[in-house]
Amino acid sequence: MEHSSTLKFTLAGPSDAPALAVLRSAAARDLTERYGQGHWSHEATERGVLNDFRHAEVWAARRGNTILATFRLATKKPWAIDKTYFTDCKRPIYLTNMAVHPDVQRQGIGRLCLEHALERVRLWPGDAIRLDAYDAVAGAGPFYARCGFREVGRVVYRNDPLIYYELVLD
C-alpha cells in the first residue's frame, strides 16, 4: 500500500455521492462485523450523501481517482449536539460523517483528515472544531482524544450514547 502522504484532499461534489455512499457503507459494515449491530450499522445512501452538501463542505481524501476517506465541515449545529457542553466561542465548526475505508484504516489517513479539517477551519475562519462520537466499543472517541480533542460531555440522544469532543483553536 502506498504511503498516506500520496493523498490529495479535494472538495467533493454531487458526482462523488455514489462513491461516498459506498465508502461510508463499507465503514458501517466493517464496524458491524467487528462489534455487532449498533447505531453505527446504517447503510449510507446516495440521497443522504447529497443532503450532506447542503450548507457544508464535504471533503474527500483521494489516492488517484479512488476516494479513501471523507468528512463534512459545517457551521450549522448537528441535531445531536447540545452546545451548552462546549467552550463558548463565536465561530464553531462541526465535523461530521468522517469515514475511512476499512481497507486503509490504521495507516494515518484519519489523522490526515483531521489535520486537513483543522487547516480548513482556520481558513474559514473558525475558532473550534466540535463533534460527537458513539460512546460504545465501535465509537471513535479514543481516536479523537489521541488527536488532541478534549472530551467535554457525555449524553444520550434518542437512545444513542454520545461523547462530545472539541478542539479549541489558538
Q: What is the CA radius of gyration of the chain?
A: 15
Q: Give the other-Cβ count within 10 Å of 143's Cβ.
A: 16
- Model-level pTM greater than 0.75? yes
**Mind listing the domains of the chain with CATH numbers?**
4-168 (3.40.630.30)
- List Cβ neighbours of 38 (8 Å cut-off, separation of 6 or more): 31, 32, 134, 136, 138
At 15 the pLDDT is 97
pLDDT digits (tens, 9 = 90+) for 63-99: 999 999 999 999 999 988 999 999 999 999 999 999 9
pLDDT digits (tens, 9 = 90+) for 126-169: 999 999 999 988 889 999 999 999 999 999 987 889 999 999 99
